[in-house]
Amino acid sequence: MKKLLALIISLALFIFLFQLVMETPSKLLSERVSSRYVQKNVLSSGEAEETSANLVTSVVLSYRGLDTLGEVTVLFAAATGVAFFMKNVKERLNFLFSSFIVQTGARVVSPLLVTLGIYIFIHGHLTPGGGFQGGTTIAITTLLLYVAGGLVERKRTVFRTLEGLSGSVYVLIGLMGLAVGGAFLYNFLPLGKIGELFSSGIVPVIYVLIGIKVGSELSNLVLHTTGGDNS
């Protein structure tokens, strides 16, 4: 009976949303804010003022940089919250596939995965991917090492310090922009040419920081989900 009611409500919601989407007009890309992002001509100066080849990166880190600082903070708060909840949970999960082969395999694969993660976030302004994707890859390595027999158990404090450090440096870079260019997160490094590795100023620097931060935050999250903090 309750299911029937839920079904009716969700069907009604579907029809309602369908009509709503049909009714709202859709603007072409050329009339949207992002058309200027695509031309890299927000300041109407005629030349590229932002030089990441990956347009999503330039939106995420440059045009809407404050969102990204906030987003990293959400993750930070969530990881801290999980740690907060789990700090009194003493017992640990023991479903580790800790056979010799798995451990060796994890040891061999994990450096490769970390390298991949680092590659992804260093090239975040050139190719798809960036700090979040690379950071997640690193966190997945942590997960692998954990599942293969708790190989990262004693490294927890390192992750927490890394998390705090990269976050502080991120904010400090933002404040430096305020001091140099008069606006928080102002891009004060030389911009270079589109498509080169050393281009677009502070964007790759911040993406590397985000990579480290997201990587350590998600690692923390995973490790804390498995049990409390007994350091």
Partner 1 sequence: MNPTFMIAIPLLTAFLLFVLPKRRWLNTLFITLVALFTSVYSIAGLFNIEKSMSFGMGGWPTPFGINLVVDNLSAFFVMVTQLSFLLTIFALFGWYRAERYSGALMMTFLAAVNGMILTGDLFNLFVFMEIASVSLFALLNLRESSGSLKATFNYMVLNALASSVYLIGIALVYRATGTLNMADLSQKWGVISEASATTVFLMLLTPLLLKAEIFPLNLWAPRIYGRSSAGITTLLAGMVAPAGFYAMIRLFSLLSSSGTTQNSLLILAVLTMVIGEVVALTRKSLREMLGFSSVAGMGVLLMAALSNAMEGALFHLFNLALAKVVMFLSVELLTAGGRDDLESLKGTYKRNPAMAFVFASGAFSVAGLPLFAGFRSKLIILSDMMKAEHYIITAVFIFASIVEFFYYTRAVQHIFSSNEEIAGGRQCSHPLSTLVLLAAAIFIIFTGIYPESVMALAEKAQMALTDVGAYVASVLGGM
Partner 2 sequence: MTLLEYVIVGVMFLLGIMAVEVRNLFYSVIFLSALSILAAFVFVLMRAPDVAMAEAAIGSGLLTAILLFTLKRVEGGKNE
Partner 3 sequence: MNLYTFTSLLLIAIGVYGLLSQRHLFKMLVSLSVLELGVNILLVSIGYSKDGVAPILTPPEQIINPVDPLPQALVLTAIVIGVGTTALMSAIIVKIYKRTGTLDLSSNRGEDE
* 180 contact choice in partner 2, partner 1, partner 3, none (CB below 5 to 8 Å, kind-dependent): none
Tokens of 103: 């451990």
Is there binding between residue 98 and partner 2 (CB under 8 A)? Answer: no
Identity of the residue, 31 or 101, whose beta carbon is nearer to partner 3 in the bound complex: 31
Binding site for partner 1 (CB under 8 A): 17, 20-21, 23-27, 31-34, 36-37, 42-43, 62-67, 69-71, 73-74, 76-78, 80-81, 83-85, 87, 160-161, 163-165, 167-168, 170-172, 174-175, 177-178, 181-187
Identity of the residue, 201 or 215, whose beta carbon is nearer to partner 2 in the bound complex: 215
d(CA 38, CA 158): 40
Is there binding between residue 65 and partner 2 (CB under 8 A)? Answer: no
Backbone angles phi, psi at 211, to 5 degrees: -60, -50
Contact 142, 217 (CB under 8 A): no
Binding site for partner 3 (CB under 8 A): 2-3, 5-7, 9-11, 13-14, 17-18, 21-22, 29, 32-34, 37-38, 53-56, 58-60, 64, 67-68, 70-71, 74-75, 77-79, 81-82, 85-86, 89, 127-128, 132, 193-195, 214, 218, 221, 224-225
Identity of the residue, 24 or 94, whose beta carbon is nearer to partner 1 in the bound complex: 24
d(CA 195, CA 55): 11
- Taking the complex as a whole, the smallest distance from the CB of residue 15 to partner 1 amounts, in Å, to 13
Is there binding between residue 210 and partner 2 (CB under 8 A)? Answer: no
Q: Is 82 exposed, middle or buried (0-12, 13-18, 19+ CB in 10 A)?
A: middle
Closest CA relative to residue 142, chosen from 157, 156, 122: 156
Q: Is 28 helix (H, G, I), strand (E, B) or coil?
A: coil
CA 45 vs CA 1, 52, 63, 83, 189: distances in Å: 64, 17, 16, 48, 18
Is there binding between residue 204 and partner 2 (CB under 8 A)? Answer: no
CA dihedral 140, 217, 161, 67 (to 10 degrees): 140
d(CA 7, CA 13): 10
Which residue type occupies 196?
Answer: E
Q: Which of 107-115, 182-190, 202-210, 214-222 is the region at the interface with partner 2 (rule: CB under 8 A)? A: 214-222
Q: Which residues does 217 contact at the CB level (< 8 Å), separation at least 6? A: 72, 75, 76, 79, 135, 139, 159, 163
Is there binding between residue 54 and partner 2 (CB under 8 A)? Answer: yes
Interface residues with partner 2 (CB under 8 A)? Answer: 54, 56-57, 93, 95, 120, 128-130, 132-133, 136-137, 139-140, 143, 218, 221-222, 225-226
